[in-house]
Amino acid sequence: MIPLQQKSFKYLVGSVLLFTLPFILPSCKQKNDAAQNKPNIIIIYADDLGYGDLSCYGATAVKTPNIDALAANGMKFTDAHCAASTCTPSRYALLTGSYAFRNNAAILPGDAPLIIDPNQETVPSMLKKAGYVTGAIGKWHLGMGNGKPNWNDSIAPGPIEVGFDYSFLMPATLDRVPTVYVENHHVVNLDLADPIEVNYDKKVGNDPTGLEHPEMLKMLADTQHSGTIVNGISRIGFMKGGHKAYWKDEEISTVLNNKTTEFIKKNKDQPFFLYYALPNIHVPRAPNVKFVGSTTMGRRGDDIVQMDWVVGELMKTLKDLNLEENTLVIFTSDNGPVLDDGYADEAVAKIGDHKPAGIYKGGKYSAYEGGTRMPTIAFWPNKIKKGESDALFSQVDFFASFAKLVGLSDFKEGTAPDSKDMLQVILGNSKTGRQEMLEESFTMGVRFDEWKYIAPQTSKAPDWLKNKDIEIGLKTEPQLFNLNNDPAEAYNLAEQYPDKVEKFSDLINNIIAKK
Ligand code: NG6
Ligand code: CA
């Protein structure tokens, strides 16, 4: 949809150019000013990509030239965080400006209902008020519908009801059924003669499962990931029907790139917000043949290269359409890295010297810095200076920061309660980030100046993480680290500083009670 003002502007130019020239010139300027205040905003959101997984963050076993170019010409952050060390909670916080614990948001099954209340303000619904067209492409994992969705009918509420004008999404994760794309309210390529049924408790239909037919698999998987086989890969959960709608893992990046290009082309004449949630590099990792063998790290490394290619294609589209100068691009990830997340894809065996979380401890699921400290880059030519910033901030801050950018920061009490305006930090004009910040996992951690405190475990971790408790930082005693001296969180100082333990434990309680 083209706003009336722009439609009439074009008409005016075409018809009575000469007579109206004196009027057109000021309105041109006005349009430029408006465009400058309202740049397009694109969040490229990688999945499970760690702090150390890009060459611009020190990786040598993989080269990521396209993302490195954004870092070299934009602002590279060294202490920027996702809100939680798993996907659903992080995404919830990013899109709502509210920490996930306020909504008990946890990793969702593929048939979970939508967890964002359609009455709640979100980044896209807020940006819509500022005149943006909003799109979500890629991975969703925030639930769809009320109760169990009927995949054969209109699926709502979902992304459209929480503020996106357009969506083309994988409902949950690559490793969960249903393995189909949902565009706006409908499964793409659905054949109603082959209706979809999804079940997370028991097998439905006659399609083989990984447990029954391991010989059919491209890669073996643990029991949890040994449900219905789709495209030679067994998934979490069971699915029947929808065969014509199945995605093909090796082609997903191209499909999403095409959708992204379409969305950008269609909306290039007005400000747009694109939430481009890449499926890479979550399991099952199935990079396209073009990328197979591009690293010595096997599927995980090759998928990083594929992800970098995706970013390059997107940047090319922006350049071709002359949009680069007027687009704020943020590249980041939803949680820390993981090697073995259920599939025998040789990620562990082929890791070599590569450090997926860089110098930090832990990764996905973890309470340590590796769980939430994310590679984060902001790129906006001529607006964001090149450089590096160690300012502390969280993706939960995008809401208030974008609101400020588009002149809507006066939002009502209760909206985005945890979001702080970090616009000047994101633009590289200030290096003063937060003094304090929450890090959610299966317990809670808090950052305060150079300190990091991890509370004794607060919530139950899933059974399959049981033997990883210690590794991911779940302990019965409090943990306290001084990140200036000990960024790798090796020396627990809790016994030495009981006053700090008390102070930071109170701080967490205050955040929970929102004092
Ligand atoms: C876990 C899955 C894991 C991954 C994760 C979600 C098991 C044993 N593990 O439950 O494979 O899908 O959920 O990842 O089921 S996330 O990036 O979306 O948070
Ligand atoms: Ca993730």
Q: For residue 288, tell me if it sits in a domain.
A: yes
Q: For residue 506, tell me if it sits in a domain.
A: no
Question: Do the beta carbons of residue 505 and residue 451 sit within 8 Å?
Answer: no
Straight-line distance from the first to the last Cα atom of the chain, in angstroms, rounded to the nearest whole number = 43
Rounded to the nearest angstrom, the distance between the alpha carbon of 136 and the centre of ligand 2 is 16
Question: Checking DSSP bridges between strand 75-77 and strand 186-187, what pairing results, if any?
Answer: unpaired
At which residue do the structure tokens 């959101």 appear?
A: 45
The CB of 86 under 6 Å from ligand 1? The reply is yes
The CB of 282 under 6 Å from ligand 1? The reply is yes
Nearest protein CA to atom 11 of ligand 1, as residue: 341
Q: For residue 234, tell me if it sits in a domain.
A: no
Nearest protein CA to atom 18 of ligand 1, as residue: 87
Specify the pLDDT at position 24: 42
Q: For residue 222, tell me if it sits in a domain.
A: no
Specify the pLDDT at position 458: 66
pLDDT one digit per residue (tens) for the chain, 515 residues: 334 334 333 333 333 333 344 444 444 444 444 445 699 999 999 999 999 999 999 999 999 999 999 999 999 999 999 999 999 999 999 999 999 999 988 999 999 999 999 999 999 999 999 999 999 999 999 999 999 999 999 999 999 999 999 999 999 999 999 999 999 999 999 999 999 999 999 999 999 999 999 999 999 999 999 999 999 999 999 999 999 999 999 999 999 999 999 999 999 999 999 999 999 999 999 999 999 999 999 999 999 999 999 999 999 999 999 999 999 999 999 999 999 999 999 999 999 999 999 999 999 999 999 999 999 999 999 999 899 999 999 999 999 999 999 999 988 889 999 999 999 999 999 999 999 999 999 999 999 999 999 999 866 778 888 788 888 888 999 999 999 999 999 999 999 999 999 999 999 999 999 86
Q: For residue 12, tell me if it sits in a domain.
A: no
The CB of 280 under 6 Å from ligand 1? The reply is no
Question: Do the beta carbons of residue 113 and residue 454 sit within 8 Å?
Answer: no
Specify the pLDDT at position 471: 86
The CB of 240 under 6 Å from ligand 1? The reply is no
Q: For residue 154, tell me if it sits in a domain.
A: yes
Write out the residue range of the structural domain in which residue 245 sits.
39-196+241-431
Q: For residue 475, tell me if it sits in a domain.
A: no
Rounded to the nearest angstrom, the distance between the alpha carbon of 481 and the centre of ligand 1 is 28
DSSP 363: -
* Cα 434 from Cα 206, distance rounded (Å): 54
Nearest protein CA to atom 17 of ligand 1, as residue: 87
Q: For residue 208, tell me if it sits in a domain.
A: no
The CB of 512 under 6 Å from ligand 1? The reply is no
Structure tokens at 345: 């894809």
* Cα 436 from Cα 132, distance rounded (Å): 31
DSSP 130-171: TT-EEEEEEE--S--SSSS--TTS---SSTTTTT-SEEEEES
CA atoms within 13 A on the CB side of 413: 1
Find the CATH number of the domain harbouring 355: 3.40.720.10
Which one, of 189, 193, 104, 197, lies nearest residue 149 by Cα? 197
Q: In ligand 1, which atom is closest to the CA atom of 90?
A: 19
Q: Domain count of the chain?
A: 1
Which one, of 105, 110, 112, lies nearest residue 88 by Cα? 105
The CB of 87 under 6 Å from ligand 1? The reply is yes
Mutate-to-test residue for ligand 1 from 49, 86, 107, highest number of ligand atoms within 8 A of CB: 107
Q: How many Å separate Cα 33 from the centre of its chain?
A: 30
Rounded to the nearest angstrom, the distance between the alpha carbon of 341 and the centre of ligand 1 is 7
